[in-house]
Amino acid sequence: MDEQLEPDYFGHFDDLRWALGLPDIEAALKRERPWSAADRVREWESLPSRSGIHSDTTGPYWLVSSLGFCRLYDIALPRDVASVLRGPLPAQITAAALRGLIHALEHLALDARELPERFDDAEPVEDVALCTSILHQLMQTWAAFIGINENYQEYLDAGGSSSGEFGRLMREILDASERADEVAQSDEQMQLLSIATELPLLENWRKMVRGPFVETLPWWLDGTLERTAAGHAAQRRPLSELLLMTKRDAAAAQPEHRLAASSHDSRLAVAEAKHLRQTERPVAGDRSVTVRFWRDRDTNGCKRWRLELIGGMDEMKEYVSAEIDFGGAGTRAASFSLGVATFELGPGDLDAEVSATLVTARGERQYVLLNESPNGGH
């Protein structure tokens, strides 16, 4: 049977089919519906206020949001879906979807409120996902509103009153939406959300929005995030500035350490430095430091050894410098930059047992036995 279904190129038909297959929604749509305008208004007026609406709001919420996405992107509904969705949705389903949307907006506001703190604690990949997750939720709540508003306009056209249950729930939606927007548009949140401008996500959504919606793009698609990103450009460290070596340096490198230059961006060349070993050492409390040994070549092509102490995202705020003791043969100090303290090693250092003292911003000194030499084991 699946083979006969139209392919779901946008990921919304599948959601629609799932929601329409839920027992409550399926039963509500099969029931005899009031088709006259007056009956539709009465259907809403007979709904009890704030009670007995629908026990499951998840299915109805996904139904209206998927429907809204199809309107937003001007995607024709597949035949199997269109044959079921004839006319406005039953009031019971729409009311449940409205409640689902209020819940989704509250969830969104909470996620946006917690974003800065969670971002600071996040692992790589997860940090960006926290930001894009909010944008995905914004898109979905927008789509759900479009799906619901279509039914609301129909209700008003049929003579329904904006002071009734439908109107009351719509006002709740607008209030919840305003609260979510207010949190998401705070300075810190906007700065973090603007990370998405480096992904294809926003541009892709803009490409997909069609018809009247193009003229009324919401704040996350109307260029505001791009302007925010531009405003903070000076604070960013583009990767190309931080790479070990430039393309010119690549030519000087030895064959076994050749640079892999990205063919589609001549600005970029990446050192394939040999990463020899990486371990993690507990330092104090919840904190730990990652120890890495590298072998690569300097800009003159000379072989060099490096030891790196990586504070990591969490600890970046904690450690400002480190002092390495090479088995009593001498100490060297380095500052943490972007969470990494780097030490160039000489030939005499390779067999030493290494320990470190890390210094926090508050001046605390924390000793950690690295117990590992570049050449030796543990």
Which 98-127 positions form the footprint of another protein (CB under 8 A)? Answer: 99-101, 103-104, 107-108, 110-111, 114, 118, 121-127
Residue owning tokens 């609301």: 152
Does 161 interact with another protein (rule: CB under 8 A)? no
Q: Is residue 14 a contact residue for another protein (CB under 8 A)?
A: yes
**Considering only 43-51, 79-87, 168-176, 369-377, which stretch makes contact with another protein by CB under 8 A?**
369-377
Binding status of residue 59 toward another protein by CB under 8 A: yes
Instruction: Find the shortest distance in angstroms from Cβ 44 to another protein.
Output: 20
The minimum distance between CB 371 and another protein, in angstroms, equals: 4
Is residue 81 part of the contact set for another protein (CB under 8 A)?
A: no
CA 12 to each of CA 235, 297, 360: distance values in angstroms, whole numbers, following the listed order = 38, 51, 50
Sequence letter at residue 87: G
Task: Determine the Cα–Cα distance for residues 354 and 344; give it in Å rounded to an integer.
Answer: 13
Which tokens belong to 204? 């892709």
45 vs 126 by CB, closer to another protein: 126
Q: Taking CB under 8 A as the rule, does residue 57 contact another protein?
A: yes
- The residues, any chain, with a CB within 8 Å of residue 296's CB and separated by 6 or more, are 244, 257, 271, 273, 274, 303, 304, 306
Pick between residue 163 and residue 204 the one whose CB is nearest to another protein.
204
Q: Which strands sit side by side in the sheet containing 340-345, from one edge to the other?
A: 274-282, 288-297, 303-310, 340-345
Task: Confirm or reject binding of residue 2 to another protein (CB under 8 A).
Answer: yes
Report in angstroms how near the CB of residue 378 gets to another protein at its nearest.
Answer: 5
Judged by CB under 8 A, the chain residues 128 through 157 that form the site for another protein are 128-129, 132-134, 136-137, 140
Instruction: Identify the H or E element spanning 33.
Output: none
Burial (Cβ within 10 Å: 0-12, 13-18, ≥19) of residue 252 = middle
- 186 contacts another protein (rule: CB under 8 A): no
Q: Applying CB under 8 A, does 289 fall inside the site for another protein? A: no
Using CB under 8 A as the binding rule, whether residue 61 contacts another protein is answered as yes
- Min dist. Cβ of residue 302 to another protein (A): 17
| Binding window for another protein (CB under 8 A); candidates: 83-91, 154-162, 164-172, 272-280 | 272-280
Alpha-helix residue ranges (DSSP H) falling in 122-159:
126-157
- Tell me the closest approach of the beta carbon of residue 312 to another protein, in angstroms: 9
Neighbouring CB atoms inside 10 A of 107's CB total 13
Q: Which residue has the tokens 């692992």?
A: 123
Q: Is 171 in the site for another protein (CB under 8 A)?
A: no
Distances (CA, A) of 142 to 68, 173, 216: 8, 11, 12
Q: How far is CA 229 from the centre of its chain?
A: 16
Least separation in angstroms between residue 341's CB and another protein is 12
CB of 198 to another protein, least distance (A): 5
For residue 328 the two structure tokens come to 């009593």
Sort strands 288-297 and 354-360 into parallel, antiparallel or unpaired.
unpaired
Please report, as residue ranges, which positions from 201 to 260 form the binding site for another protein (by CB under 8 A): 201, 204, 207-208, 232, 235-239, 242-244, 260
Per rule CB under 8 A, is residue 264 in the interface with another protein? yes
Closest CB to another protein among 156 and 244?
244
Cα 112 from Cα 63, distance rounded (Å): 24
Position 261 contacts another protein (CB under 8 A): no
- What six digits make up the tokens of 146? 């479009």
Smallest gap, in angstroms, from Cβ of residue 375 to another protein?
A: 16
Q: How far is the CB of 346 from another protein (least distance, A)?
A: 20
Which tokens is 283 given? 């330092």
